Structure 1
Amino acid sequence: MHPVLKTSLPLLLACGAAQAAPGEPPIGKHQAEIDAIVREISPQRIQGYIEKLVSFGTRHTMSDTESPTRGIGAARRWIKSELERCGAGKLDVQFDSHLHPVATRLSKPTEIVNVVATLPGTQPASKDRIYVVSGHYDSRVTDVMNFTADAPGANDDGSGTAAVIEMACVMAKHRFDATLVFMTVAAEEQGLFGSGDWAQKAKAKQLNIAGMLNNDIIGSSHDEHGKQDATQVRLFAEGVPPVRETTPELRTLITTGGENDSITRQLARHIKDTGERYVDGFKVNIIYRRDRYLRGGDHSPFLDAGYAAVRFTEPHEDFNHQHQDLRTENGKKIGDLPEYVDPAYIAQVARVNAASLASLALAPAVPQEVKVRTAALDNGTELVWKANAEPDLAGYRIVWRDTTSPLWQGAQYVGNVTTFRLDQSKDNVLFGVQAVDKDGNVSPAVYPVPAR
């Protein structure tokens, strides 16, 4: 058996593609279809989408819904028409709405409308597995209740909305095993009402949301001092969820040292590996938090519903261009204006998103019922799992890392089996099991629980 390898996973995967075992799929090799999607993401189109969103003056959740040119109503109708235009015959584009009662940040009952574009999966065994990507299209100024003042929202969150539109338009030209949902949501600034309602309904319907990617404030490559950094993005990923009562599953995770192996952290590892492989020179920094310090976003309701969900945000926020009344102070413009966003940077973040979504939607589902046999004291490790149902499944891969390492360090493809023994001690390393298809697409890893 292979020892624990002291190398990064991307390097390991690249080597693995060249030194594949007999019958091993080309794991780590670039998929031509994903490369094509990444190449097609356009900064110019993203800039055009942001300028159009800004042109509606304000997109405050309580702003005008009847005007054809101003307010949130005009904005959502344009988003829907654009998605219908570019995804004709491929995307199912719908308004998803509910009437929200008066709340702390809503002075009147307000219809909250999400724009949801669905690209159905084509593989019968995978089409019910869903990956969601979102941005919020509402905007605000300093006073969160001010729904009449101009609120351009170019970065927060015109950037995320533009990225989602661009991804939907590009990816609608391709076919995926699993289903992709491209969603622009409303009322993020008023209390996550759009995403919250959608996540609650998904949970009630028992939808299989296998991953949710939220893009919020991904528009600027400059920090508050003007220094540019267009080479990285933050990816916020929760570990142990903040629950009032510890469930048996959570207790097992903590007891076995797997507090860094939640389904969200596994999703984040997959995104980092895939994004950095397909987007040259761009780094995905996993941040071990649900969100920025004591703040939140549209992935939070999905986490609360028990789904794996992460948030993309630029590396350095400039608060002069976020949640601000438009004004000039000491010769400096204040406000979330389009001149302060960097479409080329947004495109890089969108490419990471798109590559990750494509990889996830082409790969098999994660293995189920992954366990470590613990009946006897043993310095080796025997893993067992339930067989996947996909017709293009090739087999499984076991990954491992030191208990102090954030990323997988070693991997071994083990073929189409449902049990495998390694001569490595479960006392010293952390394991995961991934499903692999015949093209080399790999699922996120699953942390094994004890089999009593």
Structure 2
Amino acid sequence: MKQKIMILFICLIFLISTMPIFGLADERFSDPNDNYRLKVQYLNDGRLPPNPGEMKDYIILKNPVNQEKIEYSPNRIITSINELIIEIIQNLDDDLILGYLEDITAFGPRPTESEACQQAGEYIYNEFESYGLEVRYDDWTYSGYSGNNIEGTKIGTNETSDAIYLICAHYDSVSNSPGADDDGSGTAAVLAAAYLLSQYEFNHTIRFVAFDGEEQGLLGSHEYAEEASNNGDNIVAVLNGDMIGYAEDSEQASYIKIYEDSASEWITDATQEISQLYFDYLGLTIVPSGVAYNSDHASFWTYDFNAIMYHEYEFNQYYHSPQDIIENMDLNYSTRVSKLMVATLSELSEVQIVNTPPDKPIITGPTTGVEGEEITFYVSATDAEEHNLYYQFDWGDGNKSGWLGPFQSDEIAEASHIFEEISEYDIKVQAKDEKYGKSEWSDNHHIIIVENLAPEKPIITGPTFAITGKELNFKIGATDPNDQDLYYYIFWDDGSYNNWDGPYPSGEEITFNHTYTKGGSFTIIAKAKDDLGKTGNQDHLKLFVLKTRTQSDTIILKLLEKIISRFPILYNIIY
């Protein structure tokens, strides 16, 4: 009997050890990604993203055709941290995302076919072009609307690969909203990806796409996906970011939803593995959230492409309203989701390094200046590969210089700027090489701009008695409080004048010559102005000129000068 009990006990132990715990399969014999999905399924609240805000009722969002599960594609197993990816996402920070968000929302509401939407499209096109991408407008007309998708392409280095990986968002908004989160956040992620990844090389081709017409029913992306299908484009994976910047607390900001169809689960699996490998840099937990047809990824499902959508965990209560502004976003959350998208894209398209960006530039120049004055600054940087360099100055007053160049590595370049307002400014410079590798920004160069004060009143010295026909020498000098060069206007009171002679250094006494041909009493007037045209008060000198008749006139003149020098009160009586 004891022996039978012992055998039964051993059998029970064996059965318990092989049974799943809490409904989860033993990880040694199951797909770890399926296991992960089971562990986090309680986080999925079943909420779907909102429908496009201005979609006409008769536009039907098509269901995807291909629902076949792909276990993993394209045979790339993510098992270890890639130092290049760490380098990339560490350069994607809040300031970068904020800059793009400010630029995008500055256009105001961007409904499809509006001037603001067109201007936003031009801005995105110019940004892509400045990164050295192959750029095109993808014009479309569909369902009574017309618009422009903006596409930038980074060609892969593997000539045997026709694979294309695509990151996208929509840059249009509803009519009453500046669209910061919907979908400025996704557009900022695409722009940041284009900026950073343009500095690296990849085995496979990457497309950076900003869609128009999303709020009218995914119109731009529908036409794009249809065209890609007709062209036979091998788009392997699409990463769509739509509303990725809102969270009400730190817990919500630790989750990101991903919408997927069955065929596209492998992309979610890949991004989940990325989120775990780089968790210290991302701090995000992936929440697979099933199928949703409410954003541009669904257009790709319609044409049998694999695509997923990244979407904030807590729905933004301000969406499609005037309050969808940057201030109502969680900027750091938007940055971390952007990092996740960029890291996933970099891994799938197989990042490589070819070009080393230039070193951080060094900027020199004045530390003080005057409002309205053109001020020159100097910059240089070293490129390890001796590529020619271009420099862009951020003047700290809302203006940038644009890219200046080319200059040789270590060559000193100069640029000038006029500060119109009295204030303090921090100037910085970035360098990029001819391979589009960009340096980090220089250290700030601080400058104080002060008021342009008028020159002080000039002082005129010279003879007070003279005779006609003799060249007279007068000395005139003034000081400028801002130490600018000076110009002098001199009225000789005989119908002639010197019209702003100069420039002369501030504080230097200048000799001017003049000859009178008629006798009489004259009042010489002098004024000074600075480089910027600001004029000070005038000074005057009184002069009595005798008409020359005989040699005795000269004797009389000298006698008068001696008498008046002894009795100055006579000077006022004569004049």
Q: Which position in structure 1 is the counterpart of 2:337?
A: 349
Q: Work out which of the residue numbers 229, 232, 236 in structure 2 matches 1:206.
A: 232
Q: Work out which of the residue numbers 95, 99, 106 in structure 2 matches 1:55.
A: 106
Q: Work out which of the residue numbers 157, 179, 187 in structure 2 matches 1:122.
A: 157
The alpha-carbon deviation at position 279 of structure 1 amounts to 3.6
Q: Which position in structure 1 is the counterpart of 2:173?
A: 139
Q: Is the 8 A contact 1:60 1:72 kept in 2?
A: yes
Instruction: Establish whether residue 30 from structure 1 lines up as the match of residue 92 from structure 2.
Output: no
Q: Which position in structure 2 is the counterpart of 1:305?
A: 303
Q: Is the 8 A contact 1:279 1:348 kept in 2?
A: no
Aligned-partner Cα distance in 2 for 1:345–1:193: 28
Measured at CA, do residues 227 and 285 of structure 1 come closer, stay the same or move farther in structure 2, by a change above 3 Å?
A: closer
Q: Is the 8 A contact 2:142 2:223 kept in 1?
A: no
Instruction: Establish whether residue 339 from structure 1 lines up as the match of residue 313 from structure 2.
Output: no
Q: Is the 8 A contact 1:135 1:164 kept in 2?
A: yes
Q: Which position in structure 2 is the counterpart of 1:234?
A: 257
Aligned-partner Cα distance in 1 for 2:314–2:27: 36
What is the DSSP-based 3-state SS (H/G/I as helix, E as strand, rest coil) of the residue aligned with 2:308?
strand
Aligned-partner Cα distance in 2 for 1:197–1:345: 31
Q: Which position in structure 2 is the counterpart of 1:95?
A: 137
1:184-216 alpha-carbon deviations (Å, 9 max, x no partner): 101100010111111000111111110001000
What is the DSSP-based 3-state SS (H/G/I as helix, E as strand, rest coil) of the residue aligned with 1:155?
helix
1:195-252 alpha-carbon deviations (Å, 9 max, x no partner): 1111000111111110001000001122xxx67622121111112xxxxxxxxxxxxx
Q: Which position in structure 2 is the counterpart of 1:267?
A: 267
Aligned-partner Cα distance in 2 for 1:203–1:278: 34
The alpha-carbon deviation at position 51 of structure 1 amounts to 1.2
Alignment of 1:315-330 (within 5 A): 315-319=313-317, 321-324=318-321, 326=322
Q: Is the 8 A contact 1:299 1:311 kept in 2?
A: yes
Aligned-partner Cα distance in 1 for 2:231–2:285: 33
Higher RCO (CA < 8 A, seq sep 6+): 1
Measured at CA, do residues 6 and 297 of structure 1 come closer, stay the same or move farther in structure 2, by a change above 3 Å?
A: same
Q: Which position in structure 1 is the counterpart of 2:450?
A: none
Instruction: Establish whether residue 220 from structure 1 lines up as the match of residue 217 from structure 2.
Output: no
Please, which runs of 5 or more residues in structure 1 have no aligned partner?
13-24, 65-70, 103-109, 141-146, 240-261, 327-334, 364-452
Please, which runs of 5 or more residues in structure 2 have no aligned partner?
1-25, 36-75, 352-575
Alignment of 1:402-413 (within 5 A): none
Q: Is the 8 A contact 2:247 2:316 kept in 1?
A: no
Q: Is the 8 A contact 2:246 2:312 kept in 1?
A: yes
Q: Is the 8 A contact 1:271 1:356 kept in 2?
A: yes
What is the DSSP-based 3-state SS (H/G/I as helix, E as strand, rest coil) of the residue aligned with 1:157?
helix
Aligned-partner Cα distance in 2 for 1:356–1:111: 32
What is the aligned-residue RMSD (CA, Å)? 2.3
Q: Which position in structure 2 is the counterpart of 1:73?
A: 118
Alignment of 1:236-251 (within 5 A): 236-239=259-262
Instruction: Establish whether residue 191 from structure 1 lines up as the match of residue 242 from structure 2.
Output: no
The alpha-carbon deviation at position 61 of structure 1 amounts to 0.4
Measured at CA, do residues 228 and 267 of structure 1 come closer, stay the same or move farther in structure 2, by a change above 3 Å?
A: closer
Q: Which amino acid aligns with 2:276?
A: E
How many equivalent residue pairs? 284
Aligned-partner Cα distance in 1 for 2:275–2:320: 30
Q: Which amino acid aligns with 1:36?
A: E
Length-normalised TM-score, structure 1: 0.59
Per mean C-alpha deviation after superposition, the further-off stretch among 278-287 and 184-193 is 278-287
1:96-140 alpha-carbon deviations (Å, 9 max, x no partner): 1112342xxxxxxx32101111111001122x1001111100001
1:290-316 alpha-carbon deviations (Å, 9 max, x no partner): 22xxx5100001011111100000100
Larger radius of gyration: 2
Q: Which amino acid aligns with 1:50?
A: L
Q: Which position in structure 1 is the counterpart of 2:28?
A: 5
Aligned-partner Cα distance in 1 for 2:152–2:279: 25
Aligned-partner Cα distance in 2 for 1:74–1:316: 31
Q: Which amino acid aligns with 2:315?
A: E
Instruction: Establish whether residue 83 from structure 1 lines up as the match of residue 128 from structure 2.
Output: yes
1:82-106 alpha-carbon deviations (Å, 9 max, x no partner): 2222x12xx112111112342xxxx
Q: Which amino acid aligns with 1:267?
A: I
What is the DSSP-based 3-state SS (H/G/I as helix, E as strand, rest coil) of the residue aligned with 1:156?
helix
The alpha-carbon deviation at position 337 of structure 1 amounts to 1.2
Length-normalised TM-score, structure 2: 0.47
The alpha-carbon deviation at position 6 of structure 1 amounts to 6.8
Aligned-partner Cα distance in 1 for 2:77–2:100: 37
Identity %: 28
Measured at CA, do residues 4 and 59 of structure 1 come closer, stay the same or move farther in structure 2, by a change above 3 Å?
A: closer
